[in-house]
Amino acid sequence: MGFFDELFSLKSNETLRVVAAISLTIVSILGAVFNLIVLFSIIFRVSKKDGFLKICCLKSFGNGIVCVGYLVWPVPVTFLNSLFLPHMFDAFMGQLVGWFAWCIGPLSQVLLTSNRISAVFFPQLYNRYYRFTPSNIGIIVCLLVAFLFFAAFFPEGCHYLYNLEYIGWLPEDSLCTTVRRYIFLVSMFLIVVFTTACGVVLFLKLIADSQSRSMTDAQSTKRRQKHRKVLYQTLVQNSLILADTLNTTVTYKLFTLLLLQFLTLSFSMVFIRMLEGLIMLTMNERINSGAKLLFGLKKPGENHGVNIGHTMMRTSRLPRFKHHSLIINFYQLFMELQIDESLYQYYYYTYPTCPKDERLFSKWQTLAVSSHILLIPFLPLYVFTGYVILKKTPKIMGSMKWAMLNLHLWASFVDILLCSLITPYFFFPSFSGFPIGLFQVFGVPIAFQVYLGMTSVFLQMFSVVLLFENRCHSLIAHRLSDHKWKRILFHLVNGIIAVFYMIPVCLNIPEQSVAKLNELTKIPCPTEEYFTGPTFVFLTSSFWQRYLVIATAIVASLMFTELLIFTFLCAHCLYFAMNHISSILTVRLQKSFFVGSLIQVLIPFVFYSIPSLIIAITISMEYYNQVLNNVFVLVMSFHGFAATIALLIIHRPYRTYVMSHFSNKNPQSFGTSANHSKSLKMVSRS
């Protein structure tokens, strides 16, 4: 066998173990160096240590033990291949690295997130003097819990052992390890949900309070920069904890190649610790300054940055905005926004006479938090469903697999756009609004976001056409000659229509300051974000409004016409041309799959059609209701989730696989039989 054959083998071999040992050595050394520098910099070179830095110190301590522990045990064992130290030492290292040190990571992340939440939302409690500070108590509790896990599972049969054959840590097969596994899964699920939800809320709150009128422009700029760094550090570390949790519980099980299992289990465990150390060292200004002092790269007299964050954090709690002041919104952390000159008179003299809309669901913050939280359960479900389609689609449905995967990917992508990447805050009946998603944070042009959102929706619709065309082709392919190039041309034309029909509108964007003032004739009393946010007016010209309505109607009609034609052909073949099909049982199976596909498409269609119809009515009547606009976006965000659930429940092979995880029965026992499998082979004609 060659080098690459051994490297990508399903079984353990010497080449694979050497490559694994070398990679573990490199990342373990780097991880140990980064985390120890963070640890010693905080202890010896940062003079004022607030709760945030103490928790970072705890995190680097746990990460350092993991990295050094790998250098002490897994690396030499993997290099030596067959030479092992005593069993109890293996068990001790497993408990130390796999439980005590590893548990410090997610537990300290909970403390880190809680510290930020308390600093932002409860400043009076955070500033109060405590004889025993909450951060110190939290650190002690964290260490006690980690030690409890270390000691509780130390008895024989509960060990976490390094297995050379699998190049990773694996539990012993016993009741104790089963109980421990369920405790671990539940605990990590709660931790991930808590840290992610708090991260989203913290993200929005820090941005909203990113500027104070009591500070100079220079101080305000420093404050925004500091908040941005602390925010990014917290959110990136939350993401790493999420990735680490998925890798150690789910991801590694998806692969059969031993190399991929190693990369997502053992290697990932050390690599993420190395990244955390690097992030704390580079993104935290006080730790970075302390590290420079530690290595003599900076003189003590030049230490201007070590305590800036501490002072800034204290002053950030002092100012309070009055009710009549401008809302300092989400985007002012990333761009300087001012009220357009053309809107100045209207905002300060006419707008104060408008009734204030204080409803919770009219605010952009509610929409942003809600949509981002929705993505937390949605995203794992989308990944799982993609895996089910790829790996659990029967061979007899092979002709349908890629069409179904294409539809699932577009539905998931549109949901991710609505929930996280774009998340539009509309001002219907005006064709205006602004995005509150991640694309806006990173400065993606709003016009491009509008184009991407509209194009993605219609590409998703045409993926439904592709699904039924594929189904129709598989039913009647035996009657036709090879028309593969015609099918490709057909779908290519559909794709070109979806991609290009919005371009003329996007190339004729109106002048924004004039357009925003003109739109106030439709919505004279919008929410305050219309003036203070990066509001984008997409259409004002009656010509381009008519073009958009007519073009959208034509494209939608074309899609529905194609869909009806292929649906009619499938129904005709199944219900009126039965003599062309070889058996009654096959017809029944074909009908079942056809009806399932219809239901799979109709369920998410409801989440599109009903909200769109309501919004169309409000536009035609020029009725403005911001709550209705926000609910429209949230309901639309559920369409991909509904499509995914329908896919898993309606189609029998996927339902069987999913149900097997909720029962002790083998997947084969959920209705599959020899006769059933035999008859299924007659279903696909492709």
Radius of gyration of the chain (CA): 29
Q: What is the DSSP letter of 533?
A: S
Residue partners of 408: CB distance under 8 A and separation at least 6: 382, 385, 386, 389, 643, 644, 647
CATH fourth-level superfamily of 3-315: Rhodopsin 7-helix transmembrane proteins (1.20.1070.10)
Burial class (CB within 10 angstroms; exposed 0-12, middle 13-18, buried 19+) of 386: middle
Look over the chain and give the mean of its residue pLDDT values, rounded to a whole number: 77
Question: Is pLDDT at 678 greater than 70 in this prediction?
Answer: no
Burial class (CB within 10 angstroms; exposed 0-12, middle 13-18, buried 19+) of 46: buried
421/410 Cα distance (integer angstroms) = 14
Which of 382, 380, 437, 387 is closest to 413 using CA atoms?
A: 382
Q: What is the DSSP letter of 51?
A: H
Tokens of 627: 């709550």
pTM above 0.75, yes or no: no
The packing angle between helices 102-121 and 217-249, to 10°, is 150
Question: Could you tell me the sign of the dihedral formed by the alpha carbons of 598, 599, 604, 606, in that order?
Answer: positive
Tokens of 670: 């959920």
Residue partners of 293: CB distance under 8 A and separation at least 6: 41, 45, 300, 303, 306
pLDDT at 78: 82
56/482: higher pLDDT: 56
pLDDT at 48: 72
Question: Is pLDDT at 670 greater than 50 in this prediction?
Answer: no
pLDDT at 526: 92
Contact 101, 62 (CB under 8 A): yes
3-state secondary structure of 537: strand
**Least confident interval from 180-184, 376-380, 619-623:** 180-184
Amino acid at 522: K
pLDDT at 427: 93
Which of 242, 233, 223, 79 is closest to 162 using CA atoms?
A: 79
pLDDT at 591: 75
278/37 Cα distance (integer angstroms) = 10
Beta-bridge partners for 434 = 425
448/685: higher pLDDT: 448
Q: Specify which of 234-243, 250-259, 451-460, 600-609 reaches the highest per-range mean pLDDT.
A: 451-460
Average pLDDT estimate for 646-666: 76
7/170 Cα distance (integer angstroms) = 21
76/69 Cα distance (integer angstroms) = 11
Class of domain 341-680: mainly alpha
Question: Over pLDDT 90: what percentage of the chain?
Answer: 11
DSSP string, 174-235: SHHHHHHHHHHHHHHHHHHHHHHHHHHHHHHHHHHT---TTS-HHHHHHHHHHHHHHHHHHH
Contact 72, 316 (CB under 8 A): no
Reported as a single tens digit per residue, the pLDDT across 449-477 is 999 998 998 898 888 888 888 888 777 75
CA 103 to chain centre: 23
For the chain, what is the largest distance between any 2 Cα atoms, rounded to a whole number of angstroms?
92
401/396 Cα distance (integer angstroms) = 10
Tokens of 523: 């919505």
What does the CA dihedral 605, 609, 611, 616 come to, rounded to 10 degrees?
160
3-state secondary structure of 432: strand
**Least confident interval from 82-86, 347-351, 575-579:** 82-86
Burial 144-178 (b: 16+ CB within 10 A, else e): eebeebbeebbeeebbbbbebeebbbbbeeeebbe
Residue partners of 553: CB distance under 8 A and separation at least 6: none
- Domain edges within the chain: 3-315, 341-680
pLDDT at 475: 74
297/589 Cα distance (integer angstroms) = 74
> CA neighbours within 13 Å on the CB side: how many for 146?
24
Residue partners of 29: CB distance under 8 A and separation at least 6: 67, 71
Q: What order do you get walking across the sheet with 432-435 strand by strand?
A: 424-426, 432-435, 536-537
Which of 148, 144, 117, 109 is closest to 273 using CA atoms?
A: 109
For residue 385, report the phi and psi dihedrals to the nearest 5 degrees: -65, -40
Average pLDDT estimate for 77-104: 77
Q: In which residue are the tokens 């949900």 written?
A: 193
Q: What is the 3-state secondary structure (H, E, C) of 356-393?
A: CCCCHHHCHHHHHHHHHHHHHHHHHHHHHHHHHHHHHC
